[in-house]
Amino acid sequence: MKTNNLLTIALLTLFATINGVSDAQTTIKTMKQYNGQPVEHIFQPLPYAYDGLEPHMDALTVEIHYDRHHRNYYNQFMKFIGETPYKNASIEFIFSIVSELGNPVRNNGGGYYNHVLFWEALAPQETGAPSPELLKAIEKAFGSVDQFFEQFNQKAMTQFGSGWAWLIVDEKGELQVTQTPNQDNPLMDIAQVKGIPLFNIDVWEHAYYLMYQNKRADFVQNYRKMINWNVVNERYANAMKK
């Protein structure tokens, strides 16, 4: 198995050099981090029907957001990542060198993956509650769940133009609320604050405009009513193992 992995790494490095998408720094990072295990990036089905988030998010908005915006990001990501040696590398690895892969991979890879996280952590109504471990971390970082949402909503409201607000586990294992522009995320090497995402809110206008028009604040306030804490708890537990 080690021989196969080393051969895969050598071939990736050679292809990267031939295709002009790698420099010495990228090659070194590839040798250190790429494990040679192929990953298939697939377009995940929604975990609910288009009308499954009503009354907080209407069916038409969900359909257009998922089946047009999200799907297009996925299709474009697959096109552009296929022009690099990393088509079957993990998304975490791709994001770790995304600054070296160009804006088409950065924008479309982020648009694809950010939406996967977004849809998975939503439910028709608030589901479950923070686990004891997550609740303890929230209270340590923010004081209370309500105080956390005050900070989270503030990040969502003050993200100028298009972008996202995030709850992440940072590199010290602590919770932070962050924001990113466009389709960037905290896993990317270009992120100002890096960490593992627990959940996010999409504040691009396509996420809410049909139902809420220009009232981003109403959409942000209602977001809390759709969180699937069971998914978030699992993400937190997995993040703390890394």
With respect to residue 99, please indicate whether it lies within any of the assigned structural domains.
yes
∠ CA 91-95-98, rounded to 5°: 130
Residues 163 and 218 occupy one common structural domain: yes
Residues 14 and 96 occupy one common structural domain: no
With respect to residue 234, please indicate whether it lies within any of the assigned structural domains.
yes
pLDDT at 126 exceeding the cut of 80: yes
Percent of the chain with pLDDT over 90: 83
With respect to residue 53, please indicate whether it lies within any of the assigned structural domains.
no
Are the beta carbons of 217 and 157 closer than 8 angstroms?
Answer: yes
Quote the number of domains for the chain: 3
Residues 108 and 169 occupy one common structural domain: no
Residues 85 and 166 occupy one common structural domain: no
Residues 166 and 226 occupy one common structural domain: yes
Rounded mean pLDDT of 75-93? 95
With respect to residue 169, please indicate whether it lies within any of the assigned structural domains.
yes
pLDDT at 107 exceeding the cut of 90: yes
CATH of the domain at 230: 3.55.40.20
With respect to residue 216, please indicate whether it lies within any of the assigned structural domains.
yes
Residue 18 pLDDT: 37
With respect to residue 40, please indicate whether it lies within any of the assigned structural domains.
no
Task: Specify the residue for token string 């297009």.
Answer: 72
Residue 22 pLDDT: 39
C-alpha span between 89 and 52 (Å, rounded): 33
Residue 105 pLDDT: 98
Residue 36 pLDDT: 60
Residues 20 and 86 occupy one common structural domain: no
Q: DSSP state, 69?
A: I
Tell me: the pLDDT tens digits for 24-68? 333 334 433 555 678 999 999 999 999 999 999 999 999 999 999
pLDDT at 20 exceeding the cut of 90: no
- Domain, as residue range, for 165: 132-241
Residues 6+ apart with CB under 8 A from 2: none
Q: Which two tokens stand for residue 167?
A: 């709850």
Residue 42 pLDDT: 95
Rounded mean pLDDT of 174-203? 98
Collapsing DSSP to helix, strand or coil, 163 comes out as strand
pTM for the predicted model, two decimal places: 0.85
Residues 200 and 138 occupy one common structural domain: yes
Residues 175 and 236 occupy one common structural domain: yes
Tell me: the pLDDT tens digits for 56-66? 999 999 999 99
* Reported confidence tier of residue 134, pLDDT bands at 50, 70, 90: very high
CATH of the domain at 112: 1.10.287.990
With respect to residue 211, please indicate whether it lies within any of the assigned structural domains.
yes
